[in-house]
Structure 1
């Protein structure tokens, strides 16, 4: 809630600054200067710039939402495979089953308590999780005196481990993805052009138009902040959390 209030406050501040700028502009610039043969062309160009910027905003929103969706999918798949390993491990000898369950719980706790804060800061996963994954692989191997059923169970464990490994690598890749600097530059330049044109081409003469223009500034700034937060799929504001792990392993949520 705090971050939402901050986003709205920034948007309102931007609208007030823009409104103040247009009032000053109207005060020191005679209105007669606005009339001329080029007014229709200016209005057409302003409409085209607004349309192109709307398309750019839509493209950016789709991009960051797909990034978040991918991160959520990899997280759910990773947690689901880890939980499935504890279910399949029931077909192994008791000592081996206990070892797999312990390692799975440790892995889930490490992901929820250690890796997630690192992902939120953009620091990557680190090596400890991969070490735990190798230990899980060693613990899932069939024992020398395994029965036929236990050998089949070991193969199923390794299959689930392969899915977990792929999902973990996908989660790591998602943490490194973000909007390109070119896209951010286009969003910033487009916002400035749209707002400036909106305020300085006859809008300021009417109070109602001025209020609507301020509303557009609020919406533009708000959407920019939404894109910024969605571009961090594991961030604190609009990113996904480790709930898929804590749902299967409640102890992972305890600190």
Structure 2
């Protein structure tokens, strides 16, 4: 909240300074009554507001798209690594194979049913999933002298896959906790308001045409802001990343 207040204070302060300069200029350097109106100044200001707002929109869209894409990629990488671990268990001795498959299945259940709702609420994943990941490492490292070279190689490969799973899990948690900067949200709201408001500075003889233009621009800006808001929550909303990557490999969860 402090960042939001600071941003609003800076924006409001800059606007007040500009207003004071305009008032002082009008007081000490008044425009002659016979001077022609300078509509080109208003058009230039409106154009610059539109350009600057387009930059804010573009920056915001890129930011939230990277968050959403990262969440999807991390989830797919994590599910793929977990499935690969499950398949590599075929090369281990029966006792370790069963323990690893049971733990991998429990991990998938934990992710789908416990962690996904937490990510939708922007909450930490909790310790249970990390505990299951540590159990997978323990089972993978529990080699003995009786293991064949194939089983030893499978254990080493499984540890490498679990490292990938660990990285993807951390990335998924980071994506769930990430959000668009407060400064950009302020710019989106203020810029959108100014862009629509400046459309009333220029008269259009056909009122129906003016209404259609204002409605179209306002609707497009509202749609873009809503799209940014949905992409900003990668695990919530109608554009949310689903646990389909896990349920595809573990359909019984």
* TM value normalised by structure 1: 0.82
Runs of 4+ in 1 over 6 A off after TM superposition: none
- Give the number of equivalent residue pairs: 218
Find the counterpart in structure 2 of residue 146 from structure 1: 147
Find the counterpart in structure 1 of residue 43 from structure 2: 43
Find the counterpart in structure 1 of residue 101 from structure 2: 101
Greater shift, 137-146 or 187-196, is seen at 137-146
- Deviations, residues 210-251 of structure 1 (Å, cap 9, x unaligned): 212111101101110110110111113212111000000011
Find the counterpart in structure 1 of residue 31 from structure 2: none
SS in 1 for 2:147: coil
RMSD: 1.5
Aligned equivalents of 2:203, 2:68: Cα separation in 1:
40
Find the counterpart in structure 2 of residue 238 from structure 1: 239
- Deviations, residues 30-74 of structure 1 (Å, cap 9, x unaligned): xxxxxx613221012101111211121111111111111111111
Aligned equivalents of 1:77, 1:133: Cα separation in 2:
15
Aligned equivalents of 2:192, 2:158: Cα separation in 1:
52
Unaligned 5+ residue runs, structure 1?
Answer: 1-35
Aligned equivalents of 2:168, 2:140: Cα separation in 1:
18
* TM value normalised by structure 2: 0.82
Aligned equivalents of 1:94, 1:159: Cα separation in 2:
21
- Deviations, residues 8-49 of structure 1 (Å, cap 9, x unaligned): xxxxxxxxxxxxxxxxxxxxxxxxxxxx61322101210111
* C-alpha contact 1:64 1:227 (8 A) present in aligned 2: yes
Find the counterpart in structure 2 of residue 16 from structure 1: none
* C-alpha contact 2:119 2:177 (8 A) present in aligned 1: no
Post-superposition shift, 1:199?
A: 2.7
Residue 133 and residue 103 in structure 1: after superposition, are their counterparts in 2 closer, same or farther (change >3 A)?
Answer: same
Aligned equivalents of 1:248, 1:237: Cα separation in 2:
23
Aligned equivalents of 1:92, 1:61: Cα separation in 2:
47
Aligned equivalents of 1:63, 1:127: Cα separation in 2:
29
Unaligned 5+ residue runs, structure 2?
Answer: 1-35
Find the counterpart in structure 2 of residue 133 from structure 1: 133
Post-superposition shift, 1:148?
A: 1.8
Larger radius of gyration: 2
Find the counterpart in structure 1 of residue 60 from structure 2: 60
* C-alpha contact 1:108 1:245 (8 A) present in aligned 2: yes
